[in-house]
Amino acid sequence: MSDAPPTNAYEPPKVWTWNKESGGRFAAINRPIAGPTHEKDLPVGRHPMQLYSLATPNGVKATVMLEELLELGHKGAEYDGWLIKIDGEQFSSGFVEVNPNSKIPALMDRSGKEPIRVFESASILVYLAEKFGAFLPVDTKTRAECFSWLFWQMGSAPFLGGGFGHFYAYAPSKIEYAIDRYAMEVKRQLDVLDRRLGEVEYLSGGDYSIADIAVWPWYGALAKGLLYGAGEFLSVQDYKNVQRWTDAIAKRPAVQRGRMVNRTWGDPASQLHERHDAGDFQTRTQDKIGEPAKE
């Protein structure tokens, strides 16, 4: 094989400039600057927690956490789950005020004298765990392990989402080098996870925790072939310990509810576009209200 670069190899310019026509699924909304594109206030409901989100893996972390807290009887975790479509809604002035990075999920805790904003999914998990004293180990060793796996997920998921997912599913053309590079890294990550779960039931080494809540929406979905349709491509069935852990978490009632909130695709019975009351799961899913899906 020749080491010579292909004749159509891209040569970066000395100074990069933004090409609005660069292609890809999200080309219409991607931009190299921050800040709002339009003025629009966020809605505010009646509950202490106001969540602005979409049921992507990062969004599911927040809704699962809130539903798990409610399952334990923490009434202060009652929340309004507002749908934020990532078609430009994340650049409204109201949303940027809650999250200057314009990414879901974003949380406003209105339970005190002054509202507290929390953005970044791991930050939301830690904030809620500390506020309610749940799903965060107390002893130093297990707590440290929990944080290590929580931040492992935050550091690893960009390779899975922005790397592998982008080039495998969303890029305007298939680039063998990019797909191979990120597929190798994702399989390495799955092996890291599988080895750990061969040693322990849950990631911290203790009980189910925010580490599991963070990792499951990404790697659990990948293990079941639900992420990017890449299950067969990545041979996810080979990771037996990940499969066991994924199935166990999927059986939790709070997880089943949490993954429905702000969901706008799939089976209409699994879609609860917005959650404002615990009874909404029985009365407001898309199969019951008959409204077209919000895309």
Q: pLDDT tens-digit profile of 24-51?
A: 777 777 889 999 999 999 999 999 999 9
Q: What is the pLDDT of residue 295?
A: 47
What span, in angstroms and rounded, lies between the C-alpha atoms of 99 and 93?
A: 10
Identity of the amino acid at 44? V
Cα distance between residue 35 and residue 286, in whole Å:
33
For residues 83 and 260, the answer to whether their CB atoms sit within 8 Å is no
CATH of the domain at 228: 1.20.1050.10
Element (H, E) at 249: helix 240-250
pLDDT digits (tens, 9 = 90+) for 171-222: 999 999 999 999 999 999 999 999 999 999 999 999 999 999 999 999 999 9
The string over 16-47, giving b where at least 16 C-beta atoms fall within 10 Å of a residue's C-beta and e elsewhere, is eeeeeeeeeeeeeeeeeeeebbeeeebeebeb
Q: Residue 29 falls within a domain, yes or no?
A: no
Residue 263 in domain: no
pLDDT of residue 2 exceeding 70, the answer is no
Least-confidence region, from 74-78, 88-92, 242-246 = 88-92
- Together in a domain, 206 and 236: yes
Q: Are 240 and 211 in contact (CB under 8 A)?
A: no
Q: Is the domain of 125 the same as that of 153?
A: no
d(CA 168, CA 7): 23
Q: What is the largest CA-CA distance in the chain?
A: 68
Total domain count, the chain: 2
Torsion-angle region of 64 (φ positive above 0: left; ψ -120 to 50: alpha; else: beta): alpha
Same domain for 233 and 169: yes
Residue 65 resides in a domain: yes
Distance, in Å, from the CA atom of 182 to the CA atom of 158, rounded to the nearest integer, reads 10
Do 90 and 160 sit in the same domain of this protein?
no
Residue pair 281/269 in contact by the 8 Å Cβ criterion: no
In a shared domain, residues 99 and 154: no
In a domain, 197, yes or no: yes
Whether 292 is covered by a domain: the verdict is no
132, 161, 195 - which closes a domain: 132
Q: Which long-range contacts (CB under 8 A, 24 or more apart) does 138-141 make?
A: 139/206, 141/205
Contacts of 65 (CB under 8 A, 6+ apart): 124, 125, 128, 129, 135, 210, 213, 258
- What three-state secondary structure class fits 52? strand
Q: Is residue 126 part of a domain?
A: yes
Position 242 pLDDT exceeds 60 = yes
Domain carrying residue 193: 140-256
Asked if the model's pLDDT at residue 20 lies above 90, the reply is no
Task: Identify whether 279 is part of a domain.
Answer: no
DSSP state of 82: E
Residues 200 and 226 in one domain: yes
Q: If 0-12 CB within 10 Å is exposed, 13-18 middle and 19+ buried, where does residue 7 land?
A: exposed
For residues 167 and 182, is the Cβ–Cβ distance under 8 A? yes
Average pLDDT estimate for 251-260:
98
CB–CB of 160/168 below 8 Å? no
Residue 3 clears pLDDT 80, i.e. is over it: no
